A = this chain, B = another copy of it.
Amino acid sequence: MDFTVNQLAAMLQGKVEGNGSDRVKAIGKIQEAEKGAITFLANPKYEHFIYATRATAVIVKKDFTPEKPLGVSLIKVDDPYSSFTKLLEEYDKIASFDKTGVEEPSFISENVTFGEKLYRGAFSYIGSNVKIGDNVKIYPHTYIGDNVIIGDNCIFYPGTKIYADTEIGNNCIFHSGVVVGSDGFGFAPQEGGTYKKIPQLGNVIIHDNVEIGANTVIDCATLGSTLIERGVKLDNLVQVAHNVEIGSNTVIASQTGISGSTKLGKNCVVAGQVGLVGHIEVADQVTLAAKTGLSKSVKQEGAVIFGYPAMDHKAYLKCHAVFRNLPELRERVNELEKKVLNLPAN
């Protein structure tokens, strides 16, 4: 990366204040950036850093007015954060790994088709009858089972495991250790207390633009499909059980678990360490706060839920406010009992 401040401002449709011919060669945080770097100021809490930063240029909001003299050039934009993100993306494209071709040894079975610009890393394994689109990156130690279908522009980071029969759309990203299509947890109790495995014959279908975090697991359906709709984002170490369906653009933070056959709506936000029981439905745009345990369906769109057993978020906080003072409340009841006892008899 090597641009003038003026070039970057043009790229970001911003306006320069300061020396537009300074050269920028790196990207950094405002408190750490060195000479030659560009950074941004979005949060007013960080404003004091702009007077001390060693950066060469700072992206700021267009109405930013410095309270003291500045040693940096400014690029004024509508939304500094998204401008900076845009810049990062450009930088990422340049810096990003763009390997293609095949590293050996790797393993590929019969009847596999693939598009242009494939990267197939060493020790990757591709089963029979697999179909792979254009511009797919399969890092080392990835396993792709038989009959898997993969769209364009997907990335499988090292050690991803995709069981047979999985279907994956375009632009999906799988981080290391992700497992897709493992058997659902289904066992029929037998006389004598033992369990018999219920065969898990279904698969997993993942639509476009899905990203799945490291060591997350998505089980296949018993019958039919476990379904991850378009634009879903799953963080690390998430559990998605058999026959679950997750609606489009729903995001789920780390260590959350969704039990079998539960259906989440679209555009939901599920925080970390949440648990959902099986066979329930959650409406669209519902928020589940961290560590919530949800054992009933949520029918109201946009509801915000908290606690375990789960309640309305605000109601829960009100209850908890009393909980925090329960010893005092009990003492007041003690006092009342004493007083009432001492009152004159009727």
CB distance from A209 to the nearest CB of B (A): 7
Which residues of A come within 8 Å of B, CB atoms? 27-29, 32, 81-82, 85, 88-89, 91-92, 95, 97, 103, 105, 107, 121-123, 125, 139-141, 143, 145-146, 157-159, 161, 163-164, 173, 175-177, 179, 182-183, 185, 187-188, 193-199, 201, 209, 211, 213-215, 217, 219, 223-224, 231, 233, 235-237, 239, 241, 248-249, 251, 253-255, 257, 259, 266-267, 272-273, 275, 277, 290-291, 293, 295, 308-309, 311, 315, 318-327, 329-330, 332-333, 336-337, 339-340, 342-344, 346
- Rounded to whole angstroms, the CA-CA distance of A27 and B222 in the bound complex is 11
Q: In angstroms, how far is the closest chain B Cβ from the Cβ of A223?
A: 5
Tell me whether A141 and B125 are in contact (CB under 8 A).
yes
Check if A123 sits within 8 Å of B95, measured CB to CB: no
Task: List, in ascending order, chain B residues with CB within 8 A of A139's CB.
Answer: 143
Q: Which residue of B lies closest to A343 (CB)?
A: B343
Contacts of A309 in B (CB 8 A): 320
CA distance A251 to B145 in the complex (A): 28
- Return the chain B residue nearest A219 by Cβ: B236
Report the minimum CB–CB distance from A135 to chain B (whole Å).
Answer: 16
Contact, CB under 8 Å: B215 / A267: no
In the assembly, what is the distance between CA of A161 and CA of B160, in Å?
10
Chain B residues contacting A175 (CB-CB under 8 Å) are 179, 182-183
Q: At the interface, is chain A mostly helix, strand, loop or mixed?
A: loop
Q: List 8 A-B contacts (CB under 8 A).
A: A121-B125, A125-B141, A143-B158, A193-B248, A254-B259, A291-B293, A319-B324, A322-B330
B32 contacts A224, C-beta separation under 8 Å: yes
With A105-B105, A107-B103, A213-B217 given, is the CB distance from A290 to B319 under 8 Å? Answer: no
| CB contact under 8 A between A88 and B198, given known A253-B185, A311-B324 | yes
B291–A290 CB distance below 8 A: no
| CA A140 to CA B82, docked complex, whole Å | 42
B188, B196, B275, B323: the one within 8 Å of A323 (CB): B323
Docked-complex contact B209 and A185, CB < 8 angstroms = no
Residue contact A322 to B326, C-beta cutoff 8 Å: yes
Given contacts A158-B161, A343-B343, whether A241 and B223 have CB atoms under 8 Å apart is no
* A158 and B105 contact, CB distance less than 8 A: no
